[in-house]
Structure 1
């Protein structure tokens, strides 16, 4: 069987029938088309003027790399972290670890001091802690000399008979140095507003150490949540550029093969560049930055633009083959496809706009970007298509043109045969759908969430190797904090209460998972108090002495008292293993929160925190805060969990919005439903495969649902438009469905092949969510195309009998 577009006679017959029964929407689009063709020069000039205005604004768009930017402003997790920032400047900590074969020697501490100075001089580093700094602290508390009996040759931190040195050494073992003293660390506290250059500079210092101290220093590693975020963003930006390049190149080849006309390659390029530039300018004007999920914008806009160009080009080529002149072919193809392209862009916009139901701020921004870009694609088609399609013929070769015709003919016939077979066996199609739905339900129910940000990197990547080294030698590389209320004057009783809570925190054991380090100024005050000369001094005096020696470090753990007697805050620093699975990490965080709540909400603690330490003085609210458990470790653990939870909410909203637009486009609830349901199946089936194969839903898989339905629906919209044209021309439901599949099959198949290859390139990425996203999108698009050309004709023809 041949479709009505397989030869000129059929095209002529179809055109005659459409003129007889021309719907109002077609008359409207015909009028618009004639106007934009007539004023095509003015349209292009308007487009270029808008581009000239938008381009400088688009260049101002920046990438926001902060984790805080990933959360909704009203999110409780962000609120806790903002309190930590307000009190202590955040907890962005990068840890430079190295092995020193002679760390215990005076030369070893000199090296620690020199490396500390190199790191502290880097812009964005606010304070550091290292064995050399701890040793200097001990030296000031317990100076060497005749009175104390300590030798100047032994590094102060390594004195075996000094109770303060031994206490400090044990307290910070696993934090600034390993317990066996084979490895040292420079713990760098970073400014919350630090840029990527700060991490790059610390990496440069670490990379130079083996050459700076040959034969003594090696096995250098840099870890910390800011490093994870930095490396993750770097990989995502690189992957986004790779995807954009491959997508543009491959789809350009598809356009050339499909149409053998360079005019449509120029049209595709003009639409993509103009739409992206105008979209970015709008985003700058409304104050939206690029983020973790925004790097695939170019690829998705390319997909939307190429779908429109391919369908326009195919119609234009058919009209020219039939004998229409250039203006008539342009008018016919644009008037025929203007509404389908509008509805395609509208459904894409609606699908991505549904991401507004996410609680993750960058996901919402990403949804707005793609929604606006989708509408910009339609505007760009109106502004550029008439002028470029009216250019002189830019065909690339007669032989290639003949080859392309043969390929298109074979593909169209194949699509017709497949659609005819499926329409004739609708019962089998229903059975297949039931089986796939059953498999999907079972598979989706078995999916688990991957919340470890470290597992977003491949096991052999440098960052994972570094974390393995640090976790083996230090016990844990995950950094987080507890923030609790403190009195104006830290009393002995208050610090004792804090030490009791810290012992309870150290005793937490959740299925073998525990905290590897718990440190606060309460520990430091207790250890310093072991010195005979300081034993009788109150804790507040000891801490004031420590502030003189290490002012920034002490202020990073305890907010200073002020004349207004503002509520003081004490910080307890925690370390735990980063290599934990999702459930273990959630359970450990919950156990810490429960312990903190138990110890900070009892009456004794509230009385001790009361203003000036006076019992019963709680009128000002002192001690009423139960304490916050926060930090990058907690935020990143909750980030992906929230993303996965949002997935189904956004997916439902996306499906509903697309269904409404399909209903408006077809003016039929039955056709809209029949078109939408097959497009939902690939998403569920792909996620089911993830669950059934033991995979976990990571950041890449969590966005697959809303993104995939937004991309796969394009073919369905063009199918419905072609189907309705055939029905209006008097054909039956079965014939219309099979011919519609034949009409849209060629551009849809070729575009899908290019997209599958383009997105599959991401499967090689070092960033696992990007690789997962690329693979699953490619799989979903391939499945969606198969369904659009098989089940969709069967469903539509059945409901429209």
Structure 2
């Protein structure tokens, strides 16, 4: 950083501090207004073909967002039980946000409320007998059709299927609807269970939002305690926390002004900004303490910023590049998160510049830091590490190569997690409900296959539809004899009509079915649009690759009968949501690596050092991803960003290390002396910052949302691995590059270039 800029920050530190505080206070209100986009559309690019097909189907057949409420009912088909089911169903139907006329339950299905009006009054001379026979036949067929949907094979498990109003038509937020349904289910005797894809999506966002706030508070407190132990000075604990709070509020406030909304992965925004802010202050604190030995507080801060201003700036720039690489992702939340974090990184840099001089020099009496616990032992360990690296560079390099080769092999074993329910803990309400419903009723995943239909239904067309329906009902794939737990087509409804009241003409039967089941026909056949569909159900809790096999098998089977057939539904959207994650992982990492090399080359003014700095930062990422492959862990929304985010964070340490190394070399130190000096000074700051950040990130393991758990733990491992890479692999590479340098036994005391000292 230029001397004039540092002098400006110090000279006008009080006005700048006031500006920062006022800006932070003004940002509180808009920052609190930043909300989440909880729609399924937010998880896809607007032009994604699967999303467009889903939206088209929703326009043609109405919203297919269903919530299933299931429970055990003794003797479910008795008159008394059916009455109880009907009353509870009516109560659920009155919940705001529910389409009451579309509610399905076994009681109303078997009651045949519209039977008389639908069939008319004339059955000839045997009217009473014929009417009763038709009712009995239809009842049996309806029970068979409802198996696995409204009643289980055990005749004890029953369900009410609720259809949600569209977000545009609903008078209340979905959160109100879900909360009331769950309250009624909990009050029911026996307790009822609530599940469905919309509930899964809602809970994912709810957990992300709640955890994002709660985990930020926990990590904030933990980091404060950790920094107090390390720095033993409240001023130096307050400074990074002020920087973090300001940058978070500014970022959120600007996002609100820009009309942006948070997405499913954006809850990590606060935690990542915490990392960047704490890391910068850790380096400043260590350097400032060393400068205070011979200089006043103001001069020490000037000299500290003179030396570290450049590395801190370039570290922020490379971090922003790492996040911006996420914009190449095919997943909308990941792209928007990358842009948000790049903005936030820049604001952390601004907050550091505005808050640091004023906060540190406000009352110089309590400005000095004490030595952290066991600092002497840490320095001794760092020096021993440096000497060991200088002594056995080839051995360390060979071991590293073996680990990287094994890790690359592990990467080829990585799989993408397509089971959206795996994003939740096993004891979460949505998973408990899913297990109950899928064990007792069958699949909870709802989707469809739709195809072209004529303006007027013919017997030949209905026969083809019936043929496809039967094909799907008997569909099997290797290793799965029942991939579809329920198949409902228009022909199933038409086949409910007993021969005694059936019409000879398809359109006549269609009219009759419309009278018997008013909701069934428009939900399966859109005459105006010329489109027919078959509704399918599959097990939601299915192995990663199994859902895609089922979807592909259904599409292939349907296209043999109707060549234009297409599959759609929330089940399909959630399955393919993270299909591209594996490709995104490597693509975004490649972009991040190229951007980081370019930025590091500019910062260090050395292309060779920039390329060399990538190795110790790729190493921990390779270990983490390779380890995931060998351990059978899958790529999810959180782990998809590990590579590009980690390299943007760990490269900061490389920039600080290499800047210190170059500074020592410019003062005439040999490579060995420069490495020892850098280890004992910059190395300490790297250890302090990394340990504090690893603890903060590990707090994410408390999250209810599994991608956040993975992201927190794996990023902590990547940060620790990056620390090892920068303290072992980086000096090893420097040693191999400069093999002629002699080894010295003691480090040269760190010094700084003589700047213009500002008077107190």
The secondary structure found in structure 1 opposite 2:449 is strand
For the residues of structure 1 that align with 2:670 and 2:556, how far apart are their CA atoms? Answer: 67
Instruction: Give CA deviations for 1:218-241 in whole Å, capped at 9, x if unaligned.
Output: 352222111222223333334333
The structural deviation recorded for 1:548 is 5.2
TM superposition shift of 1:123: 2.0
Is 1:367 the counterpart of 2:343? The answer is no
Q: Is residue 640 of structure 2 the alignment partner of residue 702 of structure 1?
A: yes
What do you get for the CA RMSD once the two structures are aligned?
A: 2.5
Q: Secondary structure of 1:570's partner?
A: strand
Task: Please list, as runs of the form range in 1=range in 2, the aligned pairs for 1:409-420 lying within 5 A after superposition.
Answer: 409-420=376-387
* 1:597-608 correspondence runs (5 A): 597-601=559-563
Once the two structures are superposed, residues 608-629 of structure 1 have per-residue CA deviations (whole angstroms, 9 ceiling, x without a partner) of: xxxxxxxxxxxxxxxxxx1320
Query: Which residue is equivalent to 2:748?
Result: none
2:87 alignment partner in structure 1: 114
Q: Which residue of 2 aligns with 1:81?
A: 54
* Distance in 2 (alpha carbons) for counterparts of 1:138 and 1:749: 74
SS at match of 2:128: coil
Which residue in the other structure is 1:214 paired with? Answer: none
Match of 2:222 among 250, 272, 290: 250
* Residue aligning to 1:171: 145
Q: What is the CA-CA distance between 1:737 and the residue it aligns to?
A: 2.2
- What does residue range 462-501 of structure 1 map to in structure 2 within 5 Å? 462-501=429-468
Write the mapping of 1:255-654 to structure 2, written as runs, cut at 5 A: 255-322=227-294, 324-393=295-364, 395=366, 404=371, 407-513=374-480, 514-528=483-497, 530-536=498-504, 538-547=505-514, 551-559=518-526, 561=527, 566-601=528-563, 626-654=564-592
Aligned to 2:753: none
Q: Which moved more, 1:489-498 or 1:339-348?
A: 489-498
CA deviation after TM superposition for structure 1 residue 362, in Å: 0.4
1:359 partner SS: coil
Partner of 2:742: none
Alignment check: 8 A CA contact 1:679 1:784 kept: yes
Give ranges in structure 2 of 5+ residues lacking alignment: 168-172, 740-760
Residues 1:128 and 2:108 aligned together: no
The CA distance in 2 between the partners of 1:235 and 1:765, in whole Å, is: 8
User: In the aligned structure 2, how far is the partner of 1:239 from the partner of 1:60?
Assistant: 17
Partner SS for 1:556: helix
2-structure distance, mates of 1:252, 1:74 = 44
> How many residues are paired up?
725
Deviation at 1:138, TM superposition (A): 6.0
Shift of 1:684: 1.1
Secondary structure at the aligned position of 1:321 is classed as: coil
Say yes or no: does 1:239 pair with 2:211: yes
- The secondary structure found in structure 1 opposite 2:681 is helix
Q: Distance in 2 between matches of 1:160 and 1:527?
A: 10
Q: Distance in 1 between matches of 2:404 and 2:439?
A: 45
CA 667–192 in structure 1, closer or farther in 2 if over 3 Å, else same: farther
Describe the SS at the equivalent of 1:96.
strand
User: Who is 2:127 aligned against?
Assistant: 147
Cα distance in 2 for partners of 1:203, 1:554 equals 30
Please state how far the C-alpha of 1:477 moved relative to its aligned partner: 1.5
The corresponding residue for 1:609 is: none
8 Å Cα contact 1:479-1:575 kept in structure 2: yes
Q: 1:592 to 1:438 in 2, by over 3 A?
A: same
Distance 1:497 1:424, change over 3 A: same
1:618-651 alpha-carbon deviations (Å, 9 max, x no partner) = xxxxxxxx13201111111111222232111111
Q: Alpha-carbon deviations, 1:71-124, whole Å to 9, x = none?
A: 111211211111122223342211111111032122212222112212211222
Match of 1:215? Answer: none
Q: Secondary structure at the match of 1:125?
A: coil
Contact 1:243–1:296 (CA<8 Å) still a contact in 2?
Answer: no
Report the CA distance between 1:405 and its aligned residue.
Answer: 5.4
Match of 1:15 in 2: none
Contact 2:472 2:487 in 1 (8 A): yes
Q: Distance in 1 between matches of 2:601 and 2:231?
A: 32
Question: After alignment, is 201-210 or 82-91 more displaced?
Answer: 82-91
* Corresponding residue for residue 724 of structure 2: 786
Q: What are the Cα deviations for residues 16-74 of structure 1, in whole angstroms up to 9, with x where unaligned?
A: xxxxxxxxxx5xx2110101212223323333443355433322211112222111112
Instruction: Give the Cα separation in 2 of the matches to 1:549 and 1:627.
Output: 28
Bigger CA drift: 291-300 or 639-648?
639-648
SS in 1 for 2:330: coil
Give 1:567 shift.
2.1
TM-score of the superposed pair, with normalisation by structure 2: 0.90
- Asked if the contact 2:36/2:205 (under 8 Å) is kept, the reply is no
* Matched-pair contact (CA < 8 Å) for 1:411–1:746: yes
Alpha-carbon contact 2:321-2:595 (below 8 Å) kept = yes
Report the 3-state secondary structure (helix = DSSP H, G, I; strand = E; otherwise coil) of the residue aligned with 1:207: helix
Once the two structures are overlaid, the 10-residue window that deviates more, 507-516 or 431-440, is 507-516
- Aligned residues of 1:276 and 1:298 also touching (Cα < 8 A): yes
> How much has 1:679 moved relative to structure 2?
0.5
What's the counterpart of residue 608 of structure 2?
A: 670
Instruction: Determine the structure 2 residue equivalent to 1:98.
Output: 71
Cα distance in 2 for partners of 1:408, 1:792 equals 22
Inter-partner Cα distance in structure 2 for 1:124 and 1:412:
63
Query: How far apart are the structure 2 equivalents of 1:237 and 1:800?
Result: 51
Deviations 1:376-417 (A, max 9, x none): 011111111111111114649x9xx65x25633432332122
Matches within 5 A, 1:687-698: 687-698=625-636
Match of 1:21 in 2: none
Q: Distance in 2 between matches of 1:781 and 1:188?
A: 47
- Answer yes or no: is the 8 Å Cα contact 2:219–2:699 preserved in 1: no
Residue aligned with 2:579, SS: helix
User: Does residue 1:56 correspond to 2:29, yes or no?
Assistant: yes
Provide the C-alpha distance between the structure 2 equivalents of 1:88 and 1:56, rounded to a whole number of angstroms: 42
Change (3 A) 1:765 1:47: closer
Instruction: Please state if 1:798 is matched with 2:736.
Output: yes
Q: What is residue 622 of structure 2 aligned with on the other side?
A: 684
- In 1, the alpha carbon distance for the partners of 2:328 and 2:388 equals 41
TM-score by length of 1: 0.86
Q: 1:247 to 1:52 in 2, by over 3 A?
A: closer
Other structure's SS at 2:293 match: helix
The 1:108–1:142 alpha-carbon spacing in structure 2 relative to 1, beyond 3 Å, is farther
